[in-house]
Amino acid sequence: MDNKCSKYESLFVFSDDETLKKHLEECEDCQKEHETMQKVSDLIGEVKFYYRKKQKKVLNFKVACAMSLVLFSSLSFGIIASNDDLVDTLRYGDSLSAEDLGFPVDSYGLLMVDE
């Protein structure tokens, strides 16, 4: 039977470079495995630039979304805070009238003035 060497992975992960090089000089199976791993490493090196470029685009998009959210919320809260009728509607479900505030009003809802 033709037994293949299965030491490459353990040597690559757990041993130092000198031990791995010595074993690669002696073992053809591990040399083939090492060449395959080098090809994969080269491919990853070629793609790394594009992957990092994509990560930067995603990060820039997230920052733009966060800034838009902050801008929108600050403008919204500013508008709400300056509009008393809107605040009353949000708090009480309806805008407060002069009658709700306890002022004397006529049938049209206008303030009554005693002469």
The amino acid at residue 44 is I
pLDDT at 82 over 90: no
Q: How does DSSP classify residue 18?
A: H
**Which pTM does this prediction carry?**
0.43
**DSSP bridge partners of 105:** 111
Q: Name which residue leads in pLDDT, 10 or 91.
A: 10
Structure confidence by residue, pLDDT tens digits, 9-59: 888 888 888 888 888 888 888 888 889 989 988 988 888 888 888 899 999
Instruction: Round to whole Å and give the CA distance between 99 and 109.
Output: 7
Instruction: Round to whole Å and give the CA distance between 101 and 14.
Output: 80
Percent of the chain with pLDDT over 70: 90
Asked whether the CA dihedral 32, 38, 44, 46 is positive or negative, the reply is: negative
- SS3 for 27? coil
Instruction: Round to whole Å and give the CA distance between 115 and 98.
Output: 19
Percent of the chain with pLDDT over 90: 19
- SS3 for 111? strand
